[in-house]
Chains A and B, each alone.
Chain A
Amino acid sequence: MEFPEELRYSKEHEWVLIEGRIAIVGITDYAQKELGDIVYVELPEIGEKVVKDDPFAAVESVKAVSDVYAPVSGAVVEVNDALPETPETINEDPYGDGWMIKVEISDMDDLKDLMTAEEYAEYVDKEKEDEGEEEDDDDEKEED
């Protein structure tokens, strides 16, 4: 699994590429693997405001829908228009052509909560371990 060094990562498995005040956002390789074949993606419109930790988009596979959460707050300045036509791009190239939106960051402090590639790799490892544990005692799933 890939964790490009130049990106930052959120707990909800989004990646962020920072270019000055603009954040490019997508979902990580781990997220796309978990979802399976993506069949549909619903993106916001240019001009919409996104709020950190609130959902701004939805990604669908055949059997599931997942909310995509904003890693930073701001205004949407660009949307990957090609994506709704070819949602499989998210599976094939999650960090490149699978980008979703570009956000003009309203508060640069939001970036502090994001993880580095190394921290995210550890985080993913722990998540996978927890799921394994879950199978052991079949405890309550995390609430969504």
Chain B
Amino acid sequence: MSEHSQVSDRRPSTPSLLFESGSPGRSPSFWPEDSGKKKTELPAHLVRKEIPGFPELGELEVLRHFTRLSQLNYAIESHFYPLGSCTMKYNPKINEVVARMPGFSSLHPLAPVELIQGALQLLSELEAMMAEISGMDAVTLQPSAGAQGELTGLMIIRAHLAAQGNPRKKILVPDTAHGTNPASSALCGYDVMQVASNDRGMIDARKVAELMSDEVAAIMITNPNTLGIFEQEIQAIAEVVHGKGGLVYLDGANLNALMGIAKPGDMGVDVLHINLHKTFSTPHGGGGPGAGPVGVKKFLEDYLPVPRIIKKDGRYELQEDLPRSIGRVRSFFGNFGILVRAYTYILTLGSDGLEDVSRMALLNANYLRKKLEGHFHIPYSEPCMHECIFTDRTQQKQGVQTMDIAKRLLDYGFHPPTIYFPLVVHGALMIEPTETETRETLDAFAEAMIAIAREAKEDPALLKSAPHVTPVGRLDETRAARNPVLRWEPNKS
């Protein structure tokens, strides 16, 4: 147990680690020692000794351990979580029920194809749904996450250009882009060239034209961008890039703003990825698993990863022999369990429900923006879509930073918005409420923010030492980075 003093501390006691609990021999037994079957001894040089320090807890001990850990977390189901560009919407319970049906959860990917016809039907129909929603022609569901989707999309672009004789060398990436955009570009063997946003928070087609050349393979663009602003010149930008033989990649992270309002496929986009764990309600899980389907226009279809699912004579089959395919980015079909959840969500909402999602997402974001204007500095006067951005400029006059505002929000029982992103805005606070929040929740959040703005003037020290009521106070990240301790060890106390 922890030795840390709690005398003057209202916080709950520090939980033990698994390895600090339990007792030898306590684990439940699941396999009787001798069931009359023959025991096989593997050759001694292939067998390990017992694992020192591996946990040995009773079943209730295990449950209590993890249950108490869970109670230290904020989560959507307990707290408002307005993280910009993360789309922390309600994760429907029916999706969980469906995903756990044995007819989905207990399938083996290498079973004969006759045994997975229902699964292949689901995948095939989900591909069509993704295509319709995004305005693209063909879809792969294989990538496990948005970042893997980006890599897949860039590989497709590269393969296409290489087939034409020159894969080219550069990718244009706006200064507001998510970090995965340049990271994925580098992984694909491209150099990154940054495009600066203008003082209205948007990319000028004219600026793109200055940077566009036949050495540029593509532009990666997010729309609406990470400031929550619709890139007005998107079609002109696409024209400029296409004009020199390049392609347009859309990071679909903000798709929650667009359903029924505008389709990326109509904007001149050639390739995009969609984040199912954002727009399509699959749970964030504390950091995954997600899924990042990729959609392409018809001329790029041949490059999609294998296998492709095709319907022939009323049956679903797998096509592996596709010579122009980029290959595989991971094993089997992708995160099927996540795909089942997204499919269920789309079935539940339908066209009317999905179009309503985006409208209400915009309503909620604009409502919050109006409530907070005057209390927090707004860097851009452009209309916002599903998310709105503020800075700490007003509060900086009292020496209070965005970090302090965020930590103080924890004391009010809210998860903070996204902070310090995008990088073009000093001390950014990006708020995406999503469509599943009530007006009362938004009002309560606004009240808390306004109270914090007042505290910043009257008692800045309170903010700088926040949070006060969370299970732990502000943690020493410097220490964690200077002397990384990344595991428990047996001879530690």
- At the interface, yes or no: B108 with Cβ under 8 Å from chain A? no
Q: How large is the interface on A (under 10, 10 to 19, 20 to 34, 35 or more residues)?
A: 10 to 19
Q: Is the CB–CB distance between B393 and A135 below 8 Å? A: yes
Q: Return B121 CB to nearest CB of chain A, in Å.
A: 47
Residues of A within 8 A of B477 (CB): 62
Are A87 and B482 in contact, with the CB atoms below 8 A? yes
* A67 CB to nearest chain B CB (Å): 15
Q: Is B175 interfacial (CB-CB < 8 Å)?
A: yes
Q: Interface 1/0s, chain B 37-74, versus A by CB < 8 A?
A: 00000000000000000000000000000000000000
- Please tell me if B485 contacts chain A, counting CB pairs below 8 Å: no
Bound-state Cα–Cα, A141 to B198, Å = 11
The answer to whether A138 and B482 touch across the interface, beta carbons within 8 angstroms, is no
Q: Is the CB of B424 within 8 A of A138?
A: yes
Q: Are A141 and B482 in contact (CB under 8 A)?
A: no
Which residues from 19 to 77 on chain A have a C-beta closer than 8 Å to any C-beta of chain B?
36-37, 39-40, 60-63
B residues near A87, Cβ cutoff 8 Å = 482
User: B481: CB under 8 A from chain A?
Assistant: yes
Contacting residues, chain B, for A140 (C-beta < 8 A): 175, 196-199, 424
Q: A39 CA to B380 CA in the complex, in Å?
A: 35
* Binary CB contact string for chain B from 392 to 407 against chain A (1 if under 8 A, 0 otherwise): 0100100000000000
Distance to closest chain A CB from B218 (angstroms): 19
In the complex, what's the smallest C-beta–C-beta distance from A68 to chain B, in angstroms?
A: 18
Complex Cα gap A37–B424 (Å): 23
Return B373 CB to nearest CB of chain A, in Å. Answer: 16
Give the number of residue pairs across the A-B interface with Cβ within 8 Å.
44
Residue among B423, B424, B481 having the largest count of chain A Cβ atoms under 10 Å: B481
CA distance A134 to B194 in the complex (A): 19
CB closest residue in chain A, given B426 = A135
Instruction: List the B side residues contacting A141 at CB < 8 Å.
Output: 175, 423-424
**Chain B 230-283 interface residues, beta-carbon cutoff 8 Å to A:** none
Give A97-116 interface residues, CB cut-off 8 Å to B: none
A2 contacts partner chain B, Cβ-Cβ < 8 Å: no
A143 near B196 with CB under 8 A, answer yes
Which of A39, A137, A138 touches B481 (beta carbons < 8 Å)? A39
Considering the chains assembled together, what is the distance between the CA atoms of A37 and B423 in angstroms?
A: 20
A87 to B423, CA, bound (A): 26
What is the bound-complex CA distance between A113 and B482, given in angstroms?
35
B106 to chain A, nearest CB (A): 44
Interface presence of A14 (CB below 8 A): no
A139 adjacent to B199 (CB under 8 Å):
yes
- B182 → A minimal CB distance (Å): 11
With a 10 A CB-CB cut-off, give which of B379, B425, B482 has the most chain A CB atoms: B482
A38 nearest CB across to chain B (Å):
9
Give 1 or 0 for each of A110-144: 1 = CB within 8 Å of chain B CB: 00000000000000000000010011011111010
- Digit string of A86-102 for contact with B (CB within 8 Å is 1, else 0)? 01100000000000000
Q: Is the CB of B5 closer than 8 A to any CB of chain A?
A: no
Kindly state whether residue B29 has any CB partner on chain A within 8 Å: no
* Cβ–Cβ contact B481 & A62, under 8 A: yes
Residues of A within 8 A of B480 (CB): 62
Contact of A137 among B194, B199, B420 (CB under 8 A): B199
In the assembled complex, the Cα of A139 lies from the Cα of B424 at a distance in Å of 8
Residues of A within 8 A of B198 (CB): 140
Does B78 sit at the interface, judged by CB under 8 A?
no
Asked whether B391 is an interface residue with its Cβ less than 8 Å from the other chain, the reply is yes
Q: How far is the CA of A100 from the CA of B425 in the complex (A)?
A: 32
B478 contacts the other chain (CB 8 A): yes
Chain B residues 380-426 with CB under 8 Å of chain A are 380, 391, 393, 396, 420, 423-426
How far is A84 from B194 in the complex, measured between Cα atoms in Å?
A: 32
Question: Assuming A135-B426, A139-B199, A140-B196, is B379 touching A39 (CB within 8 A)?
Answer: no
Nearest CB of chain B from residue A42's CB, rounded to whole Å: 14
29 contacts between A and B (CB under 8 A): A36-B478, A37-B478, A39-B478, A40-B481, A40-B482, A60-B481, A61-B478, A62-B477, A62-B478, A62-B481, A63-B420, A87-B482, A134-B426, A135-B393, A135-B396, A135-B426, A138-B380, A138-B424, A138-B425, A138-B426, A139-B199, A140-B197, A140-B198, A140-B424, A141-B175, A141-B423, A143-B175, A143-B194, A143-B196
6 shortest A-B CB distances, which residue pairs? A39-B481, A140-B196, A37-B478, A138-B379, A62-B477, A39-B482
Q: Could you list 13 further interchain pairs (A-B, Cβ under 8 angstroms) beyond the known A37-B478, A137-B199?
A: A37-B482, A39-B481, A40-B481, A62-B477, A62-B478, A62-B480, A134-B426, A138-B391, A138-B425, A140-B199, A141-B423, A143-B175, A143-B196
